[in-house]
Copies of this chain bind each other. A is one copy, B any other.
Amino acid sequence: MIERYRRDGFLLLPPEYLTQTVFDTITAAVPHLLAEDSPRRIMERDETTVRSVYGVHQTDSIMAEVPRMPALLGAARQILGDDVYVHQSKINLKAPFAGDQWEWHQDYIYWLQSDGLRKPDLVNVAIFLDEVTEFNGPLTFVKASHRSGLLTRIGADGMPLGYEDAPAWVATLTADEKFQVGTSVVEEMARANGLVSPKGPAGSMLFFDPNILHASAPNISPFRRAMLMYVFNGVRNVPRDVSDPRPPFLAEPDTTPLQPLFSVSDSK
């Protein structure tokens, strides 16, 4: 599995890796997180539909425990070869008939430029809260594109184009991505490697590399597509030299390594 993850840049696990009880516990915690009006909650362009809620591991005890489960924490440690903590968590929603598209981008450039994470030693884990199909705006990857490293356009001053007139941090969370990858790069890599949209039932878990090139279409279907996402960072890669840090709900300041649930340290 690790070999496939490193080769393709992603790995999809079936729902069996979470038990039904855990999944039910997670889904029961979601509605109140979506309902809370706070800066952590980002709306769609229509200003009425919830797009994302950030920092859920900081505000909800269930959401804090999920990344300590063996299926997540063990995998993240194995992939990163390090102790890990959650740098960012979020619930990403694509509402029926309304969830908007995300342009082609890589995640890592945000964590490098905004949060001072010097290496792409992170891993995304997305838990499908709904079935993901070809119709409800699935994540679409350019296969193996993570192996090309940073593809984002860089300006003459060494900064990504568009970074000079940096908008507020909220702009990094909406559909208009700040760091775009050139369409010719996307085309070339897609022709060479192919596109793939991992799909599966609710409870599936999708691991993906912070440098994999990805996008997603709007949700034109009548079926919601919600995901609970954790970004694990290795403790050797903690934020450095950030003069203007993003809010804690976007970049976790507490870099204490996570301890597994049910471990000996829990009973101390």
Contact = CB atoms under 8 A, between A and B. Distances in A.
Contacts of A223: 190
Contacts of A183: 96-97, 222
Contacts of A216: 220
A223 B103 CA distance: 15
Contacts of A197: 134-135
A195 interface: yes
A140 B218 CA distance: 13
A182 to B, nearest CB: 11
A: contact size bracket? 20 to 34
Contacts of A215: 220
A187 B220 contact: no
A217 interface: yes
B96 A222 contact: no
Contacts of A104: 97, 220
B135 A221 contact: no
A193 to B, nearest CB: 12
A101 interface: yes
A218 B187 contact: no
A186 interface: yes
Interface of A: 96-97, 101, 103-104, 133-135, 137, 140, 183, 186-187, 190-191, 195, 197, 215-218, 220-223
